[in-house]
A and B are shown apart, each in its own frame.
Chain A
Amino acid sequence: MTYTPVEMMTVAAARALGNHDICFVGIGLPSAACNLARLTHAPRICLIYESGTLATRPDVLPLSIGDGELCETALTTVPVPEVFRYWLQGGRVTVGFLSGAQVDRFANLNSTVIGDYARPEVRLPGSGGATEIATACGQIFIVMRHGARSFVKHLDFLTSLGHGRTGHERRELGIRTKGPTLLVTDLCIMRPEAETCELVVTSLHPGITREQVSKNTGWEVRFADTVLETDPPSESELEVLRDLHARTARAHGAAGGSE
């Protein structure tokens, strides 16, 4: 079965989640990956959206983090201050799933501005929940499309802490959670190296070369001693993902939820 690079990325991200995870879900690519995991190998995963919907089981992907679908299929819905204070800050979440406009070699994320903060070239949406998700969850998975303009040497703005500008900032700040342990792109899988916390390529998706990854990364990207080849999406993974997207597009009355 043929598949697109974005499908490969979504499937690879979904595989990282398990039945025991309590997952705080960002909208877009993270939401697709989390729900794919729930509909395939991790039916007991608990998904939490920042609108306060706990253990939600949407039949279609929500366009926003607060679609009615999320509330109607949730175990319970709590107020927004509560979801951030008791559930996120209280340490009840094992995995936070994030994305961003820019990422650097230490998995720090920018979702605030491109260019200068006071006079931005592009004003992005901003933090939302991400700044505290990045430090309060047990660990962080990131999913982002690869590209030299988004995988940058220096972030224009650090919205959400990865391993900091030195790679060791979490420890220096007394943060005990693991931070980013996985970055899945449409080309490869990257993980932080043990000593330096610098992201290195640990797996290439089928047909992707090291040169492609290097060309699309704004820093001199390094590769792990052993680089694996990612298993391609199975027929059943693709079928479930495509069904989910088709249901979503019908429900939104347009080509919504494709990411």
Chain B
Amino acid sequence: MEFLSLNDAIEHHVNNGDQVALEGFTHLIPFAAGHEIIRQGRRDLTLIRMTPDLIYDQMIGMGTARKLVFSWGGNPGVGSLHRFRDAVEHGWPAPLEIVEHSHAAMASAYEAGAAGMPCAFFRGYRGSDLPGVNGNIRFVPCPFTGEELACVPAIRPDVTIIHAQRADLKGNVLIEGIVGVQKEAVLAARRAVVTVEEVVDDFGPCISNAVVLPAWTVSAVVLAPQGARPSYAHGYYSRDNAFYLAWDEIARERANFLAWMRKNVMR
């Protein structure tokens, strides 16, 4: 583990063509890190995320992605992710290969990755058309009961990036609130970068079962206050729901989207 600037962390740990997971289930979405990836002009990434959300809409629209692995690609409570739709429906700015799952499958696949397993078994996809469009969804019989179970390959990102509330001076990381799949996504990855709201001397008295990722599971810690906005950081700032509503209009047309990105992200 080393403390790095955001610029250095992305430069050292995210390469063209990598499989990259930026996780955070609505809460703690690592926007600052995603924006740095866009600014550094990474290309041909395989983006992995259960809910692509605005951050992948932006990364797809700016041409960083070749492939997307996901399970729900909308703007929560608002509607479409227009840049994601434009890429899938019209191939703009580049064709986007998609590997589509359900949430239960993605969550299980991250767990399998963290557990060092090649695949995950679960009771899923029954009666759905999804196995017909994703060759990575298979069915195998339980060796004990014969029940047909769904099976998907483990997710093993080259690099996982998450945002957390705090790190201590040793680089241990603390996450509270809706903890999502971040622990699994970090432990499943070859490298992990964590941006944090603040670095503290030590965590002090905290609830003993809050999620703590030991420093030796993390490649780099980056101090990035407000790094989850317009998502949120429990205990620091709340979700900017008005911005999520406004994004619908910002991202609807290509020119408007590009102008917004130039002004607010590429600066």
Q: Which residues of A contact B (CB under 8 A)?
A: 27-28, 50-53, 62-68, 70-71, 77, 79-81, 84-85, 88-89, 108, 112, 117, 119-132, 134-136, 157-161, 164, 169-170, 173-175, 251-254, 256-257
Contacts and interface: CB of A to CB of B under 8 A. Distances in A.
B104 A66 contact: no
21 contacts: A52-B179, A64-B77, A66-B27, A77-B179, A79-B179, A80-B179, A81-B110, A81-B111, A81-B184, A89-B122, A89-B124, A123-B84, A125-B73, A127-B100, A129-B102, A129-B103, A130-B102, A134-B127, A160-B128, A161-B128, A257-B77
Given A71-B27, A125-B72, A132-B103, 5 more contacts: A63-B78, A65-B26, A125-B74, A127-B71, A256-B242
Contacts of A112: 100, 129-130
A160 B182 CA distance: 27
B177 A63 contact: no
Interface residues of B, number: 56
Contacts, number: 191
A28 B242 CA distance: 16
B26 A67 contact: yes
A194 to B, nearest CB: 20
A84 B103 contact: yes
A254 B245 contact: yes
Q: Ordered nearest first, which 7 A-B pairs have the shortest CB separation?
A: A66-B26, A161-B127, A125-B74, A64-B76, A128-B72, A253-B242, A63-B77
Interface string B234-254: 100011011011100000000
A66 B102 contact: no
Contacts of B89: 119-123
A137 to B, nearest CB: 13
A77 B177 contact: yes
Contacts of B84: 123
